[in-house]
Copies of this chain bind each other. A is one copy, B any other.
Amino acid sequence: MARTPAPVLARIIDSPLTRDAERAELLLQGWPHAFAPAGNSVARTVGAVLRFEGIVRRGEPDPSAGGTERELLALEYQAYDPMAERELRRIALDIVERHALSSLVALHSRGRVGVGEVSFLLIMESPHRAEALAAMTLFIDMLKQDVPIWKKPIWR
């Protein structure tokens, strides 16, 4: 059966991913269910919604101190433009296709993200849970291998 292409949004955003930043981005991009509860997509064929937030933790290993953990104020994310967003999108399209997801949103921060703030957000809708869980693990692995984003620690 021919399927309507699943909506995919993959973007690098110049701020931490607060709820307001997320909502503003989805709205700006005309995302179909920006304000709807997760399950209320039109087709009602979605059985699982999975959401991952990557958060800046208080401590990071400091390579210049032999890898011992040191207190952070923030991480400064640097992206190689426009390749970073392009790779993020390539991975998103690949994974949506491979796992037959119903939709995918991937947002990554550029610039300063403070401790406790969200730097990476991944939302997947899927008919069944197994695909979404497998797809999420794979997405994050691919992100960490292929998306040209680097973090610079800002120590306390």
Asked whether any CB of chain B lies closer than 8 Å to the CB of A118, the reply is yes
Copies in the complex: 2
Asked whether any CB of chain B lies closer than 8 Å to the CB of A58, the reply is yes
Asked whether any CB of chain B lies closer than 8 Å to the CB of A53, the reply is yes
Asked whether any CB of chain B lies closer than 8 Å to the CB of A115, the reply is yes
- Which residues of chain B come closer than 8 Å to A49, judged between CB atoms? 51-53, 55
Asked whether any CB of chain B lies closer than 8 Å to the CB of A136, the reply is yes
Interface size range on A against B: 20 to 34
Interface stretch (choices A3-11, A37-45, A77-85, A87-95) = A37-45
B52 touches A48 (CB 8 A): yes
B47 touches A54 (CB 8 A): yes
A45 touches B19 (CB 8 A): no
Asked whether any CB of chain B lies closer than 8 Å to the CB of A129, the reply is yes
Q: State the CA gap A72–B148 with chains docked (Å).
A: 45
CB distance from A44 to the nearest CB of B (A): 4
